[in-house]
Structures are given as structure tokens and as C-alpha cells.
Amino acid sequence: MTKEETEVIFTAKVPALKNPILIEGLPGIGYIGRNAAGYLLDELKAV
């Protein structure tokens, strides 16, 4: 088994957050969790 290496490069400036909240929508049957999280992000005008 070989070891894989991954390099991550951030090119965008990280926004300043006030009281950050993580909203996670995991895909499941019909992508309900993902769709609900997307709806919340749109309605809350999240970053």
C-alpha cells in the first residue's frame, strides 16, 4: 500500500466571523439533509 500526499492551498481571504455556526447537510435518501442545509444557507444569507 502506498502513502498518498495531498497539498491544500488557500487562495481566498478568510472572512471575519461573528458567532460562527456550522451547518452540515449530509447526503442521504433524496439529498434531504443537503437540500435543507442549502436552504438554510440561502435564507440566513450565510457566507
What is the reported pLDDT for 15? 80
Distance CA 44, CA 17 (A): 14
Instruction: Name the burial class of residue 30, with classes exposed (0-12), middle (13-18) and buried (19+) by CB atoms within 10 angstroms of its CB.
Output: exposed
pLDDT tens profile 1-47:
567 888 888 788 888 888 888 888 988 888 899 999 999 989 988 76
- pLDDT value, residue 39: 94
**Cβ distance 47 to 15 under 8 Å?**
yes
The ranges assigned to domains in the chain are 21-47
Query: For residues 24 and 12, is the Cβ–Cβ distance under 8 A?
Result: no
Cβ proximity of 18 and 11 under 8 Å: no
